[in-house]
Homo-oligomer: A and B are copies of this chain.
Amino acid sequence: MTKYVYLFTEGNGKMRELLGGKGANLAEMTGLGMPVPQGFTITTEACTRYYEDGEKIAPEIEAQITEYLGKMEEITGKKFGDPTNPLLVSVRSGARASMPGMMDTVLNLGINDEVVEGVAKLTNNPRFAYDSYRRFIQMFSDVVMEVPKASFEQFIDQIKERRGIKLDTEMDADDMRELVSMYKKYFFEQKGFDFPTDPRVQLMEAVRAVFRSWNNARAIVYRRMNDIPSSWGTAVNVQSMVYGNMGETSGTGVAFTRNPSTGEKKLYGEFLMNAQGEDVVAGVRTPQSIDQLREVMPEVYEQFAGIADRLEKHYRDMQDMEFTIERGRLYMLQTRNGKRTAQAALKIAVDLVDEGMCTPEEVILKVDPKQLDSLLHPQFEPAALKAARPVAAGLPASPGAACGRVYFNAESASEAAERGEPVILTRLETSPEDIEGMAAAQGILTVRGGMTSHAAVVARGMGRCCVSGCSEIKINEEEKYFVICGQTVREGDFISLDGSTGNIYIGELPTAEAAITGNFARFMKWVDEIRTLHVRANADTPHDARQAVEFGAEGIGLCRTEHMFFEADRIAAVREMIVSKDEAQRRVALAKLLPIQRGDFEGIFRAMEGRPVTIRLLDPPLHEFLPTEEDDIRALAAEMKMSVEELKSTIAYLHEFNPMMGHRGCRLAVTYPEIAEMQVRAIVEAAVNVKRECGYDIVPEIMVPLVCDRKELHFVRGVIEKVADEVIAASGLEMHYKIGTMIEIPRAAVTADQIAEEAEFFSFGTNDLTQMTFGFSRDDAGKFLNHYYTRKIFESDPFARLDQNGVGRLVEMASNLGRKTRPDIKLGICGEHGGDPSSVEFCHRIGLNYVSCSPFRVPIARLAAAQAKVNEKK
């Protein structure tokens, strides 16, 4: 028979999966001989079983709980429900990972009309007893019975008013007794049945409530944001009560072994004498610093400091502890690895190594890769942030904080930026024409589009803060205003965006610049020594390339040539090329583009100083480059010496029903090989020039997008080789180049063995691959994805976190098929997932050679890769 319940004396710190973090640590502390109020843990398996059984607690589990309650009675020498010697307990949830959003604590469980009298007698403190009882009713009703805690406050007010007193503490035992009966009456009115007085019923209801809370809306959202699978379940901890509010020798507090903001090595925390935990939170009295405990109760302080030191050494990490002092006696209620800021995380990691407590391999696991983001981007000043209240939230599309004046189009944003104003570009959605405006802005806000929308991808690449897909906004771009949460924001008004949370604030919130310390460099050096997965960056310009190298990129995994096409000095030639009537006319336009593209590539090759650079041939459908506004159309028609009607009919002809699945990628190279020829010529001529100029050993990697069939790549390969070989021969230099392909279409993954015959490398384009594999467009999915989260169909955004079950199966299949044909094939990933830690771990596991992500995510990917390597060894 499965064991569903463990005494604290039966478990240990390694049993996290079964006992949850809190339960495992309570057991571990018990094992270390520390003063822990005893109790038992109901396992996460019991929670899973609860859901399997259709949200019912199996009789078998209930029997074990009863059995262990008996053992607990033996250990504590008290009896559950016995007024003469009552055992009161706390019930707390405790998942494998710390998870706010689940059930709060229920304290004092086991109390009822009889037991309360016993408590009064035993403590000789009827007020304490009835206060405990009424607190229990309030808490239990709130977290177990869905009667809000606040709705009980009216009765306290009634009594205080009648008695003409102001403070809760002024209420006496009789007041408390009256409160209990008012609470019970109110409960009956609300629920239609009596407040449960049988302690065993109370316990089972509380356990059930913990299990239930695993799937409440807040918990689901939290799990999605933190990549926690819903299959884990939560454990339940039942612990005997100790009281910090039993007089002046009692108290309660929390402390960290090091400063969680700075990382400084010094006990840090606060406590409150004669109080329960909830009083600390309520903020009626100001807690004292933990240092002062040394003066108030020196022996207890010494004991606590000793325990803290022992726990840190034991766990080899900074600890976050809760304790209670009951009549001069110290009890440890919890310990766990403490949360910390990014700065603190780095300092602690470096110190732990310097102190000889940990190896570099160990400390790199103690820093959350996603945290590094905050070191690279501006953040709101913490105090200002604490005081501010967001009016709405969109998707946290690109991290960092930004504050500026709202502008509604790229042009006026750029102009305002030139005047020196801070700018927030606000758009229904962005398009490639907005790039200049995005570059000029501090932050970007869009009404439509997901985590991999145009705005999000470009903003991340630039390191600009971006909040996307805020559907609560009603925007009127024409008249230059938007309405959010009932307030109208006009051009020039200030707003503030938090790209790390998606929050939107009206008005100015002060930001603090990013700051990288020396610890960062030391830490990342260890990271790079440990990892085996290479990290490249997606970069389209010399500026991005330099940025990427600064952040530690080992090469460029994806250089998107089309982003260059939108700049003012070339868009005219691009459009001319597109509306050409025949190949000859097209070649004339392409000849104008050649020197410009060559110049772009020269800049990138110079910036990369010989590191590998993968350049992708033109990918988007041509209509993306054409004007949509009447004026622009007229101008282009005049320039092209064609009638407006003729141009419009060309634009109409290029219209597509599903542009994502249209005439793009290498399909362009198949229909217009001359475009690919120009691009290849520009790439190879640039490589030749920079090699000649700087002596770097450049091996350009030319990448063909959107391939679906071997023969398709064979054809394009022929086009590339012809031009490349010609340019190299003419140069007189020796130069090698590689031809590879994106694997971003399901058919390419399925037939990767065949495609590998033509490709020297694969780069998994997991953005498009995710779209095609799921069959939904990232631009349209916003309308229904929220329902998928709330109905628990999806637990995470497949565009942010690689879907290992579906898309991942294809990636792995394609990797295996590719290596079967060509054992030395180079495999990488260049979708947005390249910067997501769990996806990086997946890439390491299936043996890819590199991941490529936007420059600002390179440090994250480096750390995630190192963590994957260390975890693999375990």
Interface residues of chain A, those whose CB is within 8 Å of chain B, are: 656-663, 667, 670-671, 706, 708-709, 711-712, 715, 744-747, 750-751, 754, 768, 771-777, 779-781, 783-784, 787-788, 791-794, 803, 805-807, 809-810
The quantity of this chain's copies bound in the complex is 2
Q: How far is the CB of A435 from chain B (nearest CB, A)?
A: 19
Q: How far is the CB of A588 from chain B (nearest CB, A)?
A: 22
Q: Is the CB of B660 within 8 A of A661?
A: yes
Q: Is the CB of A773 within 8 A of B746?
A: yes
**Given A660-B658, A715-B793, A747 contacting B768 (CB threshold 8 A):** no
Instruction: Name the B residues within 8 Å of A805 (CB-CB).
Output: 751, 754
Identify the closest chain B residue to A746 (Cβ): B746
Q: Is the CB of A712 within 8 A of B793?
A: yes
Q: Is the CB of A662 within 8 A of B793?
A: no
Q: Is the CB of B806 within 8 A of A747?
A: yes
Q: Is the CB of B746 within 8 A of A810?
A: yes
Q: Is the CB of A773 within 8 A of B787?
A: no
Q: Is the CB of A662 within 8 A of B787?
A: no
Q: Is the CB of B658 within 8 A of A779?
A: yes
A810 to B809: give the CA distance in the assembly, Å: 12
A711 to B768: give the CA distance in the assembly, Å: 23
A37 to B761: give the CA distance in the assembly, Å: 56
Identify the closest chain B residue to A805 (Cβ): B751
Q: Is the CB of A780 within 8 A of B746?
A: no
A745 to B770: give the CA distance in the assembly, Å: 11
Q: Which of B657, B662, B709, B776 contacts A806 (CB 8 A)?
A: B709
Q: Which of B662, B776, B803 contacts A780 (CB 8 A)?
A: B662
**21 A–B contact pairs at CB < 8 A?**
A657-B780, A658-B660, A658-B779, A661-B771, A661-B775, A661-B776, A662-B777, A670-B784, A670-B793, A671-B783, A711-B792, A712-B788, A712-B793, A715-B791, A745-B773, A747-B774, A747-B775, A747-B803, A747-B806, A751-B805, A772-B772
A248 to B784: give the CA distance in the assembly, Å: 84
Identify the closest chain B residue to A808 (Cβ): B750
Instruction: Name the B residues within 8 Å of A662 (CB-CB).
Output: 776-777, 780-781, 783
14 additional contacts (CB under 8 A) given A661-B780, A670-B787, A671-B787: A657-B779, A658-B659, A660-B777, A661-B775, A662-B777, A663-B784, A670-B788, A711-B794, A715-B793, A745-B775, A746-B772, A747-B774, A754-B805, A772-B773
Q: Is the CB of A670 within 8 A of B779?
A: no
Q: Which of B663, B711, B751, B781 contacts A809 (CB 8 A)?
A: B751
Identify the closest chain B residue to A658 (Cβ): B777
Q: How far is the CB of A753 from chain B (nearest CB, A)?
A: 10
**Given A658-B658, A658-B659, A793-B709, A750 contacting B784 (CB threshold 8 A):** no
Q: How far is the CB of A781 from chain B (nearest CB, A)?
A: 8
**Given A658-B660, A777-B661, A784-B663, A794 contacting B709 (CB threshold 8 A):** yes
Identify the closest chain B residue to A429 (Cβ): B657
Instruction: Name the B residues within 8 Å of A768 (CB-CB).
Output: 775
Instruction: Name the B residues within 8 Å of A784 (CB-CB).
Output: 663, 667, 670-671
Q: How far is the CB of A628 from chain B (nearest CB, A)?
A: 14
A708 to B774: give the CA distance in the assembly, Å: 6
Instruction: Name the B residues within 8 Å of A745 (CB-CB).
Output: 773-775
Q: How far is the CB of A124 from chain B (nearest CB, A)?
A: 57
Instruction: Name the B residues within 8 Å of A794 (CB-CB).
Output: 709, 711
Q: How far is the CB of A442 from chain B (nearest CB, A)?
A: 28
A656 to B667: give the CA distance in the assembly, Å: 23
Instruction: Name the B residues within 8 Å of A779 (CB-CB).
Output: 656-658
Instruction: Name the B residues within 8 Å of A747 (CB-CB).
Output: 773-775, 803, 806-807
Identify the closest chain B residue to A709 (Cβ): B793
Q: How far is the CB of A281 from chain B (nearest CB, A)?
A: 37
Q: How far is the CB of A184 from chain B (nearest CB, A)?
A: 38
Identify the closest chain B residue to A708 (Cβ): B774
**Given A768-B775, A784-B670, A708 contacting B806 (CB threshold 8 A):** yes
A73 to B415: give the CA distance in the assembly, Å: 89
Q: Which of A656, A671, A715, A793 has the most CB of B within 10 A?
A: A793
Q: How far is the CB of A583 from chain B (nearest CB, A)?
A: 13
Q: How far is the CB of A483 from chain B (nearest CB, A)?
A: 13
A585 to B172: give the CA distance in the assembly, Å: 55
Identify the closest chain B residue to A449 (Cβ): B657
Q: Which of B656, B659, B660, B775 contacts A708 (CB 8 A)?
A: B775
Instruction: Name the B residues within 8 Å of A715 (CB-CB).
Output: 791, 793
Identify the closest chain B residue to A649 (Cβ): B474
Q: Is the CB of B656 within 8 A of A780?
A: yes
Q: How far is the CB of A148 from chain B (nearest CB, A)?
A: 26
Q: Is the CB of A658 within 8 A of B708?
A: no
**Given A670-B787, A787-B671, A809-B751, A780 contacting B663 (CB threshold 8 A):** yes
Q: Is the CB of A780 within 8 A of B658?
A: yes
Q: How far is the CB of A41 from chain B (nearest CB, A)?
A: 29
Instruction: Name the B residues within 8 Å of A656 (CB-CB).
Output: 777, 779-780
A776 to B776: give the CA distance in the assembly, Å: 13
A660 to B774: give the CA distance in the assembly, Å: 12
**Given A751-B809, A773-B750, A775-B747, A791 contacting B660 (CB threshold 8 A):** no
A821 to B311: give the CA distance in the assembly, Å: 49
Identify the closest chain B residue to A707 (Cβ): B775
A744 to B788: give the CA distance in the assembly, Å: 19
Q: Is the CB of B791 within 8 A of A670?
A: yes
Q: Which of B670, B711, B781, B806 contacts A750 (CB 8 A)?
A: B806
A711 to B792: give the CA distance in the assembly, Å: 8
Q: How far is the CB of A477 from chain B (nearest CB, A)?
A: 13
A706 to B683: give the CA distance in the assembly, Å: 42
A355 to B779: give the CA distance in the assembly, Å: 66
Instruction: Name the B residues within 8 Å of A671 (CB-CB).
Output: 783-784, 787
Instruction: Name the B residues within 8 Å of A806 (CB-CB).
Output: 708-709, 747, 750-751
Q: How far is the CB of A706 from chain B (nearest CB, A)?
A: 7
**Given A658-B777, A779-B657, A711 contacting B746 (CB threshold 8 A):** no
Instruction: Name the B residues within 8 Å of A777 (CB-CB).
Output: 656-658, 660-662
Q: How far is the CB of A670 from chain B (nearest CB, A)?
A: 5
Instruction: Name the B residues within 8 Å of A791 (CB-CB).
Output: 670, 715
Identify the closest chain B residue to A806 (Cβ): B747
Q: How far is the CB of A629 from chain B (nearest CB, A)?
A: 18
A791 to B792: give the CA distance in the assembly, Å: 47
A660 to B711: give the CA distance in the assembly, Å: 26
Q: How far is the CB of A98 from chain B (nearest CB, A)?
A: 26
A784 to B709: give the CA distance in the assembly, Å: 15
A746 to B661: give the CA distance in the assembly, Å: 14
A806 to B792: give the CA distance in the assembly, Å: 32
